[in-house]
Amino acid sequence: MKRKNILTGCILMLAATGFWLSWFLMPDPGTNDTVHILSIVKQARGNVMNSVIIQIITSVVYVVALILLTQISFPLRKTSLLGIIFLGIGSLGLCADAFFHLLAWFMTDNSVTIQKDVVTVMEFMQTTGVVFLIPLLLSLFIGSMLLAIGMNKQGLITKRSKFIIATAFLVGCVIAILNKLGIYGGPVPTLAILGIFAAGQGAIGLDLAAPSKKNQIESPVF
């Protein structure tokens, strides 16, 4: 059981690292301005392609980690199971998002002339198209929070992961509210927020791979 926990924890940490790295390589993550996207992608095409590859691989790593998570404590409690389900849906969104980036990468190739039709396609992908993607990606964040809460209740991990992930949610919500009220109009620190979120996922993996003595003797709370 200990060996399985270590393996699962390490794979989950790898997935969290890949998630953040894929966004780190993307120029100006979080923007949906079509013309701006085409401009910045054209300037960093190598990094964008690397991001696409890492994002697809990371999606696969997430799936492997989730399958292993189901073997750690069976039967899983409802919150943990919901976390795995949502995180699984989120990994589908992460993979789909990689192809959005791949499309932007191809559209900035020298063989493609950036004209009205190209911009129209990108505008569709960043407005109507992204409507289908957002629920999937949100599941990744919601699933991570539910997983952290559920596994902590089962005494499998400490509380730190749910606090870290909650911090990412809190920072994102506060900035969104300030932006809506017109109090803050500056750039959204998307990369930092995603980094906090990835750290929370990594904390789940770390607790599984190297549980503290306190967590080992902690009684499960159901």
Mean pLDDT of 114-120: 76
Specify if 34 maps to a domain. yes
pLDDT at 213 over 60: no
Q: For residue 182, what pLDDT is reported?
A: 81
Answer whether residue 218 is part of any domain: no
Residue 94 zone, left/alpha/beta (φ > 0; ψ -120 to 50; rest):
alpha
Total structural domains within the chain: 1
Tens of pLDDT, residues 4-45: 889 999 999 999 999 999 999 998 887 777 888 888 998 999
The answer as to whether 15 is a domain residue is yes
Q: Is residue 61, in this structure, part of any structural domain at all?
A: yes
**Residue 104 pLDDT greater than 70, yes or no:** yes
Question: Residue 157 carries which DSSP code?
Answer: S
* Omega within 30 of 0 (cis) for the link into 75: yes
- Over range 76-93, report the average pLDDT: 93
Answer yes or no: is 88 within a domain: yes
Q: Is 222 within a domain? A: no
Tell me which residue range forms the domain holding 177. Answer: 2-213
Highest mean pLDDT among 1-5, 16-20, 71-75, 120-124: 16-20
The pLDDT confidence band at residue 137, using thresholds 50, 70 and 90, is: very high
Label each residue of the chain as H, E or C.
Answer: CHHHHHHHHHHHHHHHHHHHHHHHCCCCCCCCCHHHHHHHHHHCHHHHHHHHHHHHHHHHHHHHHHHHHHHHCCCCCHHHHHHHHHHHHHHHHHHHHHHHHHHHHHHCCCCCCCCHHHHHHHHHHHCHHHHHHHHHHHHHHHHHHHHHHHHHHCCCCCCHHHHHHHHHHHHHHHHHHHHHCCCCCCCCCHHHHHHHHHHHHHHHHHHHHCCCHHHHHCCCCC
Q: Is a pLDDT exceeding 70 seen at residue 74?
A: no
Return mean pLDDT, the chain.
88
Tracing tokens 């109090």 back to the chain, one arrives at 183
**Is 220 contained in some domain?**
no
pLDDT, residue 114, reads 67
- Asked, for residue 221, whether it belongs to a domain, the answer is no
